[in-house]
Structure 1
Amino acid sequence: MSEALVAGTFSIPVDHGLIIVEDPASQADHDDWDPFCEFVSAKPDSVYLSVRPSVDGPVEVIIVKGEGGHDRASSRYFEGAIHAKGLYLVIRDADDVVRFSVRCGPGENLIRIMVDEPGLVSCMVVMFLGVA
């Protein structure tokens, strides 16, 4: 790992092949997203990320505050801002088996997501880079 504050990590089989980073109050509609055509769907307050399905094994998610990385996660998957109404954003799977809250600022929060293999992600690093 590079210099960064590791906020948390989890490794789970992801039944629907979907990891979500969002404002807890998000009502964003990603119904028009086809994960077979695009691996990422971004709305102002949420990002949907295609990862490998549970039959292919677990997905490791590493959450860091600041610039950081992991040797296995070298491909940029997403970089942009997510709007938070409150003081938290969450990283979760579609079934809420895991729901990890990260304290951030209200407003536009800059994030960068790095992965090992776009589309069949087994390792993901979610970097919270601060308020825009």
Structure 2
Amino acid sequence: MSEKESKAKEMHQVELMIGQILRIGVIVSATVIALGIILMLIKGNGGYPNGVQPTGFRSIFTGVLALRPFAVIMLGLFLLILTPTLRVAVSIYAFAVEKDHLYVWITTVVLIILIVASIIGYFGS
């Protein structure tokens, strides 16, 4: 097997992995959101007083441990947001394997922008 064929096979594996990450991320987040909705239907409320909702990681995870429906839904939404960010991170590896340095840098900048925007959004609210 030549080096070119080996690299093509490895890239195909990376593309399959990226597809699986997206698929699994969406399925897991949809399942968590559905569980939160089912909990809400069973309990009859979101688990928090009106106007109060978990906004930080600690309050979301504490709410999930207490089986508060709104916190479970928020966890599902967090996982849904995390899925494409993880895909960008894996893409950096894929471009590095291809030795496509320009796209490694571009994708790294995109990942940094996503992380900074998430941090600003978290602390800005």
TM (norm. structure 2) is 0.25
Higher strand share: 1
TM (norm. structure 1) is 0.24
Rg bigger for which structure?
2
